[in-house]
Amino acid sequence: MKESPPPRCRPDWALFLDLDGTLLEIAETPAEVRISARLQAALPRLRDELDGALAIVSGRSLAVIDQLLAPLRLPVAGVHGAERRDAAGTVHTATATSGLARARRSLATFVARHPRLLLEDKDTALALHFRRAPELERAARAAVAEALAASSTSSFELQEGKRVLEIKPRNASKGDAIARFMREPPFAGRVPAFVGDDRSDEAGFAVVNGLSGCSIKVGLGGSSLARWRLPDVDRVLDWLEASAPRNERA
């Protein structure tokens, strides 16, 4: 990983951005995050500079991403790639199975006994947040393992994040979502770049590195496949603003 700052975004790039922990500060609960005025201003300029080759790749659901970024509407991969809206507006969704319903019931029963935990239901995935009760991490891990077993299918897997444990479709990943975008206009033929902050982003870094692109990890701790780092959300916004000039195109 290079210690120097990442290169400034170029007009021939296809830029993929994670949301929480990358563009938005992580809050105590997912509903408490707020989009900054800086980000609201930078994203439309970046989209124009890149001729539309800008996408959000997040663990959030597509509907929540649209709500957060409104009125801006971008190509999006949500739920770690289980949901994806391409640049033409077509939505692709991983097929849900009845196994997730059994996992949902199992986790709902567990959370009812521990009200400081939060179960986020994304339809195609389930996220158990223990940020408000870190002392319950061991119990939360056991509950997620039990819920996975209750699903009675190999179609789902555990995805770990920052004080969150998620049951998601096994065939969905941020790396796969980026690879699919890169086969479609306006992303095809460009140099991919991806900025993310946690374990779920490593699959995206791997795909981008394989395409000789620019991978950027947000945060200074831990190992990563990313080739560059930015320390925090503020520095990401600085980087985006430097890449999206304030003067409008003629």
CA distance 242 to 222: 27
Q: Is the distance from CB of 174 to CB of 195 less than 8 angstroms?
A: no
> Bridge-partner residues for 156, per DSSP?
169
Query: Which of left, alpha, beta for 202 (phi over 0: left; psi -120 to 50: alpha)?
Result: alpha
Out of 12, 18, 86, 176, the active site residue is: 18
198 a catalytic residue = no
For the residues of 29-42, what is the DSSP string, one character each?
SGGG----HHHHHH
Inter-CA distances, 177 with 31, 84, 126, Å: 24, 7, 19
CA distance 158 to 210: 25
Inter-CA distances, 125 with 32, 93, 156, 177, 210, Å: 20, 12, 9, 16, 28
Q: Is the distance from CB of 20 to CB of 246 less than 8 angstroms?
A: no
- Give the phi and the psi of residue 236 in degrees, each rounded to 5: -65, -45
CA distance 183 to 179: 7
Residues annotated catalytic, as ranges:
18
